[in-house]
Structure 1
């Protein structure tokens, strides 16, 4: 090789090297950006899943609170109605309060059927049926249609008083469903 060709080859290799390093740098930058985009997309998807889960838990919790409150109110109105019946002081207002409590409970029960998991629904169904069974007996007694007279009248009061255990069980199952441990601390 002549002395003029060597500098040309060196210059050519320098130019090719410079161009190749620019392309390599650009390629590496694109690869890094792609990785960063993928990471960001995964992170956004994870955040969306977390927010969806959180919204679901919040909605279920609100459903449980409304159902439990409606169940307590319905139970309380059944007890008040029984006492009014016993005292012979049933009024249209007491009938209306009982029917309102029943309607509110039914509305919250219907919502729970769409939101609550099956294990919770099993307990909720027992509470719902129990409350409505007592309602039916009291309404029959109020209408003057006793099937078993005084015995049935006293039995329904015993059921009303014993029903606290079923309400407590429903509360326990609902709390467990949303991750609240028995000691009251945990995911809220």
Structure 2
């Protein structure tokens, strides 16, 4: 009996081994497939994160470009208006251009309030207030309304307009830093 049991036991172990090796191969293949799927999902998540980050940065860049352009246009219109006021040649067309520039700047500023980081917004807010302060002074002088502040005069507003280039430059540099533009590219 012992002669027959040993070959049967070996045959049984061979069959079980063959079945187990197939099962183990299948389990190993499933694990590899799960790892591949997990890796693919992580890669897709990273790509989505990168695309979201890129789109956010691009939207911020566009916001900055629009705000910078509107600020420069508003400042330029203030300067044109000042020259016309000094020469006594203010027209309805000049008033309209100045008001349009102010509205455009306000629209871009409002968008920036919802989009830009707080540290950048502080500088943008200073520029917004400065432009509107000069606007108010020029409009009061144009309308013959008493000055809002002591010493508000045509010369004082001109001094503010000329000095304001520095604030516009500071705002531009802070916005550029915010989106990662290196200082040497300026």
**TM-score, reference length from structure 1:** 0.93
Question: Pairwise CA RMSD of aligned residues?
Answer: 1.7
Cα distance in 2 for partners of 1:87, 1:151 equals: 18
Q: Deviations over 1:93-150 (max 9, x none)?
A: 1111000000000000001001110110010000000000000000011111243899
Cα distance in 2 for partners of 1:20, 1:150 equals: 96
Cα distance in 2 for partners of 1:104, 1:151 equals: 26
Cα distance in 1 for partners of 2:21, 2:150 equals: 99
Post-superposition offset of 1:46: 1.0
Segments of 5+ residues of structure 2 without an aligned counterpart are none
**TM-score, reference length from structure 2:** 0.94
Spell out structure 1 runs of 4+ moving beyond 4 A.
148-151
Post-superposition offset of 1:2: 3.4
Segments of 5+ residues of structure 1 without an aligned counterpart are none
CA contact (8 A) 2:120 2:178 kept: yes
Alignment: residue pair count: 185
Alpha carbons of structure 1 residues 106 and 21: separation in structure 2 relative to 1, 3 Å: same
Alpha carbons of structure 1 residues 44 and 105: separation in structure 2 relative to 1, 3 Å: same
Post-superposition offset of 1:151: 6.3
